[in-house]
Structure 1
Amino acid sequence: MSKVNKLSRSVQPLAVSALMLLGSQANAAAYPTFTVDFDQSSVSVTTAGCISNCGVTGSFTQTGEQSVQFDYNWDQIVLDDILRFDFLNASAFSSGLYDIVVNLVFTSPDAETSSSLGSGILTTFYGAVSVGLVVWDSVVKVINFDQGSTLLAKLEGGSQFGFGPYIETDITLIAKDLVAMNAPSPAPVPPALPVMLLALGGMAVIGRRRKSNRPETA
């Protein structure tokens, strides 16, 4: 084997490895983490019409912050039974029409608040069984972050049922448009890469010349 062929074979794997490294670095991108602060968020319930022994309070079943991560657009994360409505008169028949306001406060990737308005007929039968019908002003709320990403917050509506003097409902977060936190930056070119590419080009030129200079056989 000639020295030229030996050099070519030793340079080729190095050049291919360097190009693969550049490609992997250029494609690296991470979507943001979305954090809800339930201590800053709020649930407000006011009586709009009373049938009997009215009084309901609203709250979240979780305190502190909760962070969620999405893998792709339209990915969904359900916060199970995160909203809770408690009847103040749990030892009696209690029923009324209530106005509801839910404020979700996000602290990451930047500060944003989503406000949802709704109403509901909430009833408890002596604290043993509770039922309700909740209607929100819109199916989903759009949350646009300054970072560029957009989420949808979908509050569970419709008929509700629970054993005990309370009702719990879900909130679903949907990734409408995810934007990577940092756009891929050009990876620095390894110092040896231009030399290796030049060597490969030289090997190709020499190979073509050697082939063209070979005598033709009959």
Structure 2
Amino acid sequence: MHNILRFSRLRDTGIAASLFIFSIFGAASAAPYTDFSLDLAASSVTIGDSSCWPGCGVSANINTSLANSGTNLDFSFDSLNDSLSVPNLIEWVIDGTGLGVFAMALDLVFTAPDAQTSSSNGVGAIATFWGVLSAGYIEWSNPAAPVTFNDGSELQVSLHEGVYASLDPYNWGGPGIVRTGLTFTPTSLSSLNTPSPVPLPAALPALLVMGLGALGLGWRRRKSSPTSLPA
């Protein structure tokens, strides 16, 4: 019984030492990924050539109410399996009555992890009836454009396209608003910081010897102890 208790204490000491060593090196390997920041105030969507019959028009703007830090939309990812959908980023303001077509250009200005701009072009069509019914069709020439940052991070910007509509029977004579968005998907992520080396504690050699010695001693005792059969 005395040998069993002694082995148990030695075994527990070895396990504790191993866990302590693992916690030191495990903590040193963790590092968060870089943060991204989209400047909504600096980003823009511009209407180019357009025509409408008999009388309608379209304008567009970036929805700055989505900002969560000043005029910026800040976000980050935990892994490459994550994505961020921003469904109402672009507001298309349609007024008048009629059918029309137009060209547009979009510039998304990032300020973090460094300054980069993602630019896209496209065409659209609108149908409107005095603000009560507003509909649009959006098609981008490069709906899934990558953005590469200097730290090695890369985002895929997937612009939403297709048919969008709004119906507001109380909006007679006012402009109709149709909203579209995009999805950010990371294709490469860089660590926000490089983990600093953890200084080894002075007691580490003793813990190693104690842990290995306890496990080895316990194995030898178990091997040399005779096996007793029940009476």
Q: TM bucket by the smaller chain?
A: 0.7 to 0.9
Q: 1:23 to 1:70 in 2, by over 3 A?
A: same
**What secondary structure is seen at the aligned counterpart in 1 of 2:199?**
coil
**TM-score of the superposed pair, with normalisation by structure 1:** 0.82
Q: 1:93 to 1:209 in 2, by over 3 A?
A: closer
**TM-score of the superposed pair, with normalisation by structure 2:** 0.78
Q: 1:69 to 1:207 in 2, by over 3 A?
A: closer
Equivalent position amino acid for 2:61 in 1 = S
Contact 1:41 1:104 in 2 (8 A): yes
User: Which residue in 2 is equivalent to 1:168?
Assistant: 179
Residue 94 of structure 1 deviates from its aligned partner by: 3.6
Residue 7 of structure 1 deviates from its aligned partner by: 8.2
Given the alignment, which residue of 90, 98, 106 partners 1:83? 90
Equivalent position amino acid for 2:25 in 1 = G
**What secondary structure is seen at the aligned counterpart in 2 of 1:24?**
helix
Residue 13 of structure 1 deviates from its aligned partner by: 4.6
Equivalent position amino acid for 2:24 in 1 = L
Q: 1:120 to 1:10 in 2, by over 3 A?
A: closer
Equivalent position amino acid for 1:146 in 2 = N
1:195 aligns with 2:212: no
Which runs of 5 or more structure 2 residues have no equivalent in the other structure? 66-70, 169-175, 226-231
Contact 2:51 2:102 in 1 (8 A): yes
Residue 161 of structure 1 deviates from its aligned partner by: 0.9
Residue 140 of structure 1 deviates from its aligned partner by: 0.5
User: Which residue in 1 is equivalent to 2:228?
Assistant: none
Residue 186 of structure 1 deviates from its aligned partner by: 3.4
Q: CA–CA distance in 1 between the matches of 2:88 and 2:30? A: 36
User: Which residue in 2 is equivalent to 1:32?
Assistant: 34
User: Which residue in 1 is equivalent to 2:173?
Assistant: none
Q: CA–CA distance in 2 between the matches of 1:69 and 1:211? A: 53
**What secondary structure is seen at the aligned counterpart in 2 of 1:190?**
coil
Q: 1:159 to 1:26 in 2, by over 3 A?
A: same
CA-based RMSD: 2.9
Residue 25 of structure 1 deviates from its aligned partner by: 1.2
Residue 128 of structure 1 deviates from its aligned partner by: 0.7
Contact 1:118 1:135 in 2 (8 A): yes
Q: Percent identity between the aligned chains? A: 29
User: Which residue in 2 is equivalent to 1:186?
Assistant: 197
Number of aligned residue pairs: 212
User: Which residue in 1 is equivalent to 2:163?
Assistant: 159
Which runs of 5 or more structure 1 residues have no equivalent in the other structure? none
